[in-house]
Amino acid sequence: MSRIKELLEEISDLTAEDEDGGELVVELQQPLSAEELESLMKQMPLPQELREFYAVTNGMELFLEELYDSEVLQYVEEIILFHSFDNGDFTCIATKESDFPEGSVLFMNHSPDVLVQVADSLCDWIEKVVAEIQEKGCLLHPADYFSRPDEQGVYSHVLDDLKGRDCELNR
């Protein structure tokens, strides 16, 4: 069994409490069929772990965070956008054509020119997101660390990594 399949099975029954005390759940979707997965792989160069993800679930709700289904995935300049902060920032996966290690998870600040690695793999990112949401009741955006500089989380290092770069977070 693949690591991503094991992880998704492990977290599928988890719950968390949001900042207001409401219950958050993990919702897996129906997996892609072999034909649908083959079609998706013709549209974009899916890293192995992402292929395995879509063979288990076609997107998901990870507590408050939506991981895109195959209809919404976007392939842009050697990265695949799979999660949005709904403000022009995305979480992406590097493909083999990227300057980052294939399968690594990246934060994109409005442009594919502004990327910061946040996890070594999709499994690593999901594990970190689950831990952060269970601890804090939400997933913090890098800009949240302006007002919470001592907090630690998935994206806590992004501001430091982007210091001195021309990007939205520095304006």
HEC letters along 6-47: HHHHHHCCCEEECCCCCEEEEEECCCCCHHHHHHHHHHCCCC
Helix, strand, coil shares of the chain, percent, nearest 5, are 35, 25, 45
Residue ranges, the chain, pLDDT below 70: none
What pLDDT is stored for residue 25 in this prediction? 94
What pLDDT is stored for residue 168 in this prediction? 87
Q: 3-class DSSP state for residue 123?
A: helix
What pLDDT is stored for residue 41 in this prediction? 95
What pLDDT is stored for residue 54 in this prediction? 97
CA angle in degrees (0–180, nearest 5) for 164-144-22:
160
pLDDT in tens, 4-41: 999 999 999 999 998 898 999 999 999 999 999 999 99
> Using N-to-C axis directions, what is the helix angle for 3-11 and 122-136, rounded to 10°?
20
What pLDDT is stored for residue 19 in this prediction? 86
What pLDDT is stored for residue 1 in this prediction? 74
Q: What is the DSSP letter of 157?
A: T
What pLDDT is stored for residue 49 in this prediction? 96
Both tokens of 114, joined, read: 């502004």
**Alpha-carbon dihedral sign for residues 113, 114, 115, 116:** positive
How far is CA 73 from each of CA 38, 68, 76, 82, 139, rounded to the nearest angstrom?
15, 6, 10, 6, 21
